[in-house]
A = this chain, B = another copy of it.
Amino acid sequence: MESSNLFLKACRREPVPRTPVWFMRQAGRYMKEYRELRAKHTLLEMCRTPELAATVTLQPVEKLGVDAAIIFADLLLPAEAMGMKLEFVEGEGPVLSPTIQGAQSVRGLREVTDGELGYVGDAIRVVCRELQGKVPVIGFAGAPFTLSSYMIEGGASRDFAKTKTLMYRDPGLWQELMEKLVGVLTRYLASQVAAGAAALQIFDSWVGCLGPEDYRRYVLPHSQRLIANLAPLGVPVIHFGTGTATLLQLMREAGGDVIGLDWRVELAEGWSRVGHDVAVQGNLDPVVLLGPRENIPERVERIMCAAQGRPGHIFNLGHGILQHTPVENVQAVVEAVRNFRLDKSEPRSR
């Protein structure tokens, strides 16, 4: 069976001969080929130049033998297209300015015309042409909550105090911001599918800072509408977050064909919480790949055993590949996933 089918079939919980595997941030600084290109271009240049974005998107497909490519792009590109200034500060990560604070700044956010983020679609077209169906291409965007958190905090945050304070103080304005983002993200994701993306991932990476009650009230309706808007596109949607152990049922309610599980929840428990009638993706701790290579097979096998060969498991880390990860350790994960057979999964005598 061609690899292309593995990933998409697993998204739809169809039986597959082996579990597909890909990695969040599989195109990134941990890889020498990426760093060589990155040394010559800024991150934004790489995102905005379809040939460069396509090149780094393809690197891990070649080097790792993963079962899907994910388009190289930055989560914050839509915020920039809406009129915010996006910079990458060495050691600090992304900085968006001026931050969203009140009604004026929310209303000042521009709608995004089809052409404005067109370079992402163009990059997807190049990737699809190069791949010739070898593996599918995943398009992606930040979820409304996580994208808004960057727009309100101005960058990464520990406690998301400004984001939550805005939602508590002015639920009407919060709703307005969410609706605006849902509109922009719907069109952005649709353009990625039009360009050839065969699946979409919604990154609600930081939503785990919320309790269930707040998620239900301030986030669920908006993520739900975004995902519902994507249904007519006919591609599977992966709904991902971290620190979401207590939000999993609600995320499932919001939608998605595949729910992402980070490493804080055991795969078997997480899957039973979201229900076996959706697929799951995960869930190895990315830091395991900074540890000894010889530990990797056992850690992979534990997750594979927890999935019990049930159709609908996509192997991935619980979050993106960390910068200092040896590429050989990523390859060791792929190898362990490929070599795994449920029938030989008695306790290892290594």
Contact = CB atoms under 8 A, between A and B. Distances in A.
A154 to B, nearest CB: 14
Contacts of A285: 164, 211, 214
A347 interface: no
A23 to B, nearest CB: 15
A168 B294 CA distance: 11
Contact of A295 (B168, B212, B286, B324): B168
Interface string A265-287: 11001000000000000000111
Nearest to A325: B161
Interface residues of A, number: 35
Contact of A291 (B169, B264, B286): B169
Residue of A168, A286, A322 ringed by the most chain B CB atoms within 10 A: A168
Number of copies of chain A assembled together? 2
Contacts of A110: none
A327 interface: no
A160 to B, nearest CB: 7
A291 B214 CA distance: 13
A246 interface: yes
Nearest to A160: B287
A136 to B, nearest CB: 29
A263 interface: yes
A212 B290 contact: no
A336 interface: no
Contacts of A159: 286-287, 322
A288 interface: yes
Interface string A251-267: 00000000000011110
Interface of A: 156, 158-161, 164-165, 168-169, 208-214, 243, 245-246, 263-266, 269, 285-288, 290-292, 295, 302, 322, 324
